Amino acid sequence: MTWMKLARIAIKTALFFALCNVTFAATGALDWLNGVSLHNLILPGRARLPYGENPAQSYSLSPDTLTAMFATHRLRQPKAPDEYRVVLIGDSGVWGWLLSTGETLDAALNDLDLRAAGSRRMVFYNLAYPIQAALKDLMLLDEAAHYAPDAVIWFTTLDGFPRDKQVYPPLVQRNPERARELIRRYTLALDPADARFVEDGGWWDRTIFGARRQIADWLRLQVFALAWTATGVDQAVTEVQPVQVDQDADLTWNGIDAPRDLTRQDLALEVLAAGAARAESAGAALLIVNEPIFITPGANGDVRYNSWYPRWAYDSYRALLAAECADRGWTCLDLWDAVPSDQFTDSPVHLTASGWQIVTQAVANQIGSMP
């Protein structure tokens, strides 16, 4: 082996690597890769979208792309001829924070063996995802519409509607093209040039080298697929801080210092209208549910419902939401006070399994009249 031969090998290796990168980017191989998963291929699909702050303990992680997320989910399985497909959209509470997959809302609804018109089996799919933001929910609903849903149940709460929070979730920030397309399609009063969007680096980011993080995440998801199938563990439950009972006498909400009536300029309620339009275009019925919140029995409960919401802000939001539902003819269900305070875990929207059973019965009673 001479230095000349070593140089030729190095040059050929570099050229081959460059060719692989060019081919990978030119053929859109990253999109194809994200759409492939051991889940739904040789292993069962996940019951909820992958999310993990500590993937070493939860057999999960948080992918950057909706394609990779949905590739792992059982929604991707073929729709049965007798199936009435219902997708659940919402935040970490509906996703099932601190709950096993057998304790979540979708599991409880599936256990009821509900029937739609024509005796079709109602099958519920958990497409909720942590962090409140209506735009994040709209992105998930838009993707779910490709999987032939018959109905969508969208859980909302006040903290999902402030305009400055719509681009807060990393899932929105890392998918600027999808978010901007929705903003344009539905003329949402949101800034498509928001500086928090993580911009696509173009062709370079689609090469093997540029996409190495996404490729590594994809590989880890495949490894975790085996462990998840064996254990069902998809979140690391550590020590839990109980929900705050005693409240400060602070009336501030989302930078608004003094009580006043909230308006449609404060809240991005038009995102709900966009979701209603998307559900209709997919031929799916829509039920909007104002999810239960913790109502403190402790100090300063006369001015605050909980650590998130002063009474004036939340009451104003409920009035706006009710007016929106009435004006647009939406089917809405307000469960804000349906669950006792002792059925909340670590936040004002995280329920125990027993708390979700209460929601299950209320939702089941409502959807009995859905087409």
Tell me if 2 is assigned to some domain.
no
Cβ–Cβ under 8 Å, residues 58 and 233: yes
Average pLDDT over residues 191-212: 77
Find where tokens 């449609």 sit.
264
Share of the chain above pLDDT 90, in %: 73
Instruction: Tell me the pLDDT tens digit for each residue of 218-255.
Output: 888 898 899 899 888 888 777 788 999 999 999 999 99
Cβ–Cβ under 8 Å, residues 136 and 129: yes
Q: For residue 178, report the phi and psi dihedrals to the nearest 5 degrees.
A: -65, -45
Domain that holds residue 51: 35-367
Q: Which of 144, 140, 191, 127 is nearest to 165 (CA)?
A: 191
Average pLDDT over residues 348-353: 97
Report pLDDT for 56.
Answer: 62
Domain CATH number, residue 149: 3.40.50.1110
Helix (H, G, I), strand (E, B) or coil at 8: helix
Tell me if 153 is assigned to some domain.
yes
Tell me if 338 is assigned to some domain.
yes
Predicted model pTM: 0.92
Higher-confidence position of 207 and 192: 192
CA distances from 370 to 51, 116, 128, 362 (A): 31, 8, 21, 14
Helix (H, G, I), strand (E, B) or coil at 255: coil
- Displacement of CA 143 from its chain's centroid (Å): 11
Does 332 score more than 70 pLDDT?
Answer: yes
Tell me if 334 is assigned to some domain.
yes
How many distinct structural domains can be found in the chain?
A: 1
Instruction: Tell me the pLDDT tens digit for each residue of 92-104.
Output: 999 999 999 999 9
Tell me if 162 is assigned to some domain.
yes
Instruction: Tell me the pLDDT tens digit for each residue of 69-88.
Output: 999 999 999 999 999 999 99
Share of the chain above pLDDT 70, in %: 88
Tell me if 67 is assigned to some domain.
yes
Tell me if 15 is assigned to some domain.
no
Give 137's contacts (C-beta < 8 A, 6+ positions apart): 89, 90, 129, 154, 156, 160, 271, 275
Helix ranges, 59-175 (H): 66-71, 92-95, 105-111, 134-144, 170-173
How crowded is the C-beta side of 96, counted as CA atoms within 13 Å?
25
Instruction: Using the CB atoms, write b or e for 294-322: b if 16+ within 10 Å.
Output: bbbeeeebeebbbbbbbbbbbbbbeebbe
Tell me if 170 is assigned to some domain.
yes
Does 25 score more than 60 pLDDT?
Answer: no
Amino acid of residue 270: E
Instruction: Tell me the pLDDT tens digit for each residue of 299-330.
Output: 999 999 999 999 999 999 999 999 999 999 99
Does 165 score more than 60 pLDDT?
Answer: yes
Amino acid of residue 85: R
Report pLDDT for 10.
Answer: 66
